Amino acid sequence: MFEIIKAGGVVMWPIILCSIVALAIIGERFWSLQRKHVAPKGLVTQVWRWIQEGKLDKQRLDALRHNSPLGKVLAAALANMHKEREMMKLGMEEVASQVIHDLQRYLNTLGTIGEIAPLLGLLGTVTGIIRMFAAVGEVGLGNPMVLSSGLAEALITTAAGLCVAIPAVIMHRYFQGVVDELIIEMEEEAFRLLDVLAQENEENS
């Protein structure tokens, strides 16, 4: 393996760095974007039970806020639960924008790696060809080993760049789809609670 990296030249090192960063992001996002961590099932029902039983105190509200991204959005609505629906909605939307930003964390970096990795491979191809022609100028066509080293650099970096870029692009699109689904699900759950709270306020007024 080290011989292949060495044959690929200097450009191989940034490609390897890109692969390490991409793997770290993919692993972190797989863990962080699990549905049970983002939008736990039955959370709205549990919150409504607290409200009905009069158990929604500051301690539970803080716990809800740190429970999950969905819990953070619900806590924003509950902080204004005795106000008008628009006030609850405004507070919820402010927190939701931050939550969405957190869900999309590192995805731009992953997408960037998917774009620059093949360009780095192309750079390695160009430097390999330059090296090959420089060798031809120095020793002529009589030494195939000199020519093969430049050709190896060109091909290895191209292949390495594509091997990093293809999974990075695929996973970027996959995670973006997961985030979109989670956002829709959280929005539905949050507005379900919002509608119930607004109706409760109307009945008590």
> Which pLDDT score, from 0 to 100, does residue 204 have?
65
For the chain, the domains span: 2-200
Whether 93 shows a pLDDT value over 60: the answer reads yes
What's the per-residue H, E or C state across the chain?
Answer: CHHHHHHHCCCHHHHHHHHHHHHHHHHHHHHHCCHHHHCCCCHHHHHHHHHHHCCCCHHHHHHHHCCCHHHHHHHHHHCCCCCCHHHHHHHHHHHHHHHHHHHCCCHHHHHHHHHHHHHHHHHHHHHHHHHHHHHHHHHCCCCHHHHHHHHHHHHHHHHHHHHHHHHHHHHHHHHHHHHHHHHHHHHHHHHHHHHHHHHHHHHHC
Q: Greater confidence, 20 or 137?
A: 20
For 10-36, what is the mean pLDDT? 93
Whole-model pTM: value is: 0.83
Q: Greater confidence, 150 or 24?
A: 24
Whether 115 shows a pLDDT value over 90: the answer reads yes
Q: Greater confidence, 134 or 174?
A: 174
**pLDDT more than 70, % of the chain:** 86
> Which pLDDT score, from 0 to 100, does residue 23 have?
97
